[in-house]
C-alpha cells in the first residue's frame, strides 16, 4: 500500500537518485564529495525540490437514472454530468442538435462529449453534420 503514497514514492525516488549519482560520480577528493553530497541532499539549496502535488476535485457523475439520448454507449461507460448534458443537447433524437460549448478541466471527457453524439448521428445515417472542436495546446500537454 505504501507504493500508492506519493510522498513516500517521492522520497524513495530521491534516495535512489542520490545513491545512483553518488556511486556513478565516485569522487576521490573529500571536498568534491562534500560539495556533491550538499548539492544532492541539502533540503533548501539542493537540486531536489518538492514533491509538488496537484489536487483536483472529481468531476460530477451524471445521475444513474439519467437516460442517455444516445442508443449505444461503450460498456461500462458512466458519463459525467457535463457529458450527459452535452449528449442531450447534441442528440438529434429530440429534434435539432443545439450549439454546445463544454468548458471543464483536463481529463474530464470533453472530446467524448462531442465524439459520441457525432458517432451516434453517423450510425443513424445522418450525413453532412458539421462541427468545430477547439482544444487549447496546453490540454494536450497536461495528460
pLDDT tens digits for range 101-131: 998 888 889 889 988 888 888 888 888 777 7
- pLDDT of 11: 85
Taking the whole predicted model, whether its pTM rises above 0.85 is answered as no
Residue 15 vs residues 4, 20, 30, 35, 44: alpha-carbon distances, Å? 17, 9, 21, 17, 16
Q: Is pLDDT above 60 for 73?
A: yes
Percent of the chain topping pLDDT 70: 88
- Closest residue by Cα to residue 96 from 133, 129, 66: 129
Q: Which helix (H) or strand (E) holds 34?
A: helix 30-41
Q: Which three cell numbers, joined as nine digits, stand for 78? A: 458512466
Return d(Cα 47, Cα 92) in angstroms, integer: 56
Backbone phi and psi for residue 91, each to the nearest 5 degrees, phi listed first: -75, 145
pLDDT tens readout for residues 18-53: 889 888 888 889 999 889 889 988 888 888 887 776
Angle at 78 between CA 64 and CA 93, to 5 degrees: 80
Amino acid at each position: 500500500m505504501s507504493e500508492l503514497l506519493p510522498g513516500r514514492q517521492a522520497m524513495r525516488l530521491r534516495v535512489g537518485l542520490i545513491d545512483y549519482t553518488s556511486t556513478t560520480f565516485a569522487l576521490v577528493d573529500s571536498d568534491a564529495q562534500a560539495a556533491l553530497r550538499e548539492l544532492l541532499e541539502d533540503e533548501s539549496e539542493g537540486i531536489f525540490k518538492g514533491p509538488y502535488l496537484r489536487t483536483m476535485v472529481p468531476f460530477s457523475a451524471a445521475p444513474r437514472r439519467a437516460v442517455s439520448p444516445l442508443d449505444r454507449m461503450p460498456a461500462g461507460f458512466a458519463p459525467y454530468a457535463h457529458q450527459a448534458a452535452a449528449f442531450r443537447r447534441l442528440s438529434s433524437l429530440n429534434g435539432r442538435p443545439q450549439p454546445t460549448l463544454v468548458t471543464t478541466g483536463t481529463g474530464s471527457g470533453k472530446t467524448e462529449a462531442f465524439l459520441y453524439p457525432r458517432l451516434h448521428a453517423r450510425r443513424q445515417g445522418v450525413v453532412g453534420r458539421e462541427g468545430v472542436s477547439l482544444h487549447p495546446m496546453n490540454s494536450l500537454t497536461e495528460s
